[in-house]
Structure 1
Amino acid sequence: MKEELWDIGKMEMKDPWGNMLHVYDMERTICDIVKNQKKIELQVYLQAIKNYFQRKDKNLRKLARYAKKMGIQDKVKDIVYMHMEP
């Protein structure tokens, strides 16, 4: 991965023992899953996408912004359209 993409969606959170961890937010994780779809088991891929779109705290604008930076804007747009409620 390009070095300029390393910090996109990076955040800190505490683990159950109080240690600070560097993790990626949901939108970055979804972008990574979409970008690496061929390397991920289909069941895992589909469940991750389904779970994301069922969440009330998803941020589609952030997802679109990350997708554009990562060069997967068209793929993510197709996925969003498929999961939009009529």
Structure 2
Amino acid sequence: MGVIEVESNYRNLLRVYDKERCICDMIAPRSNVEVQTFQTTMKEYMSSSEKKMDVLLMYAEKLGLRDEIMNYVEVTL
């Protein structure tokens, strides 16, 4: 879930998580990300023209993080 392929500077294909999955991983209970770092990330994401809220909320639902994500979404709107 959330895996995409990007091309490296050396033209190799790399499998990485998309932005929405990274945000979910940052807020997951097992994460050691500081609150300030996560808040900054959410502000940047919410101001991005490339955000995919439907995808973010779908991932959050599947990972049991919907309430936590919604708290930050509501604050940043």
Q: Note if contact 1:37-1:45 (Cα within 8 Å) is conserved in structure 2.
A: no
* Secondary structure at 1:17 match in 2: coil
Q: Deviations over 1:16-72 (max 9, x none)?
A: 110100001110011111115861133422221221111111011110000000000
The code of the aligned residue for 2:9 comes to P
Aligned residues between the structures: 77
Q: Which residue of 2 aligns with 1:13?
A: 6
Residues 61 and 23 of structure 1: CA distance in aligned 2, closer, same or farther (over 3 Å)? same
CA distance in structure 1 between the aligned counterparts of 2:31 and 2:2, rounded to whole angstroms: 22
Q: Which residue of 2 aligns with 1:64?
A: 57
**Structure 1, unaligned stretches of length 5 or more?**
1-7
Identity value in percent: 31
- Is the aligned partner of 1:76 residue 2:69? yes
Residues 42 and 50 of structure 1: CA distance in aligned 2, closer, same or farther (over 3 Å)? same
Q: CA RMSD in A?
A: 1.6
Instruction: Pick the aligned partner of 1:30 from 19, 23, 28.
Output: 23
- Is the aligned partner of 1:40 residue 2:53? no
TM norm structure 1: 0.80
TM norm structure 2: 0.88
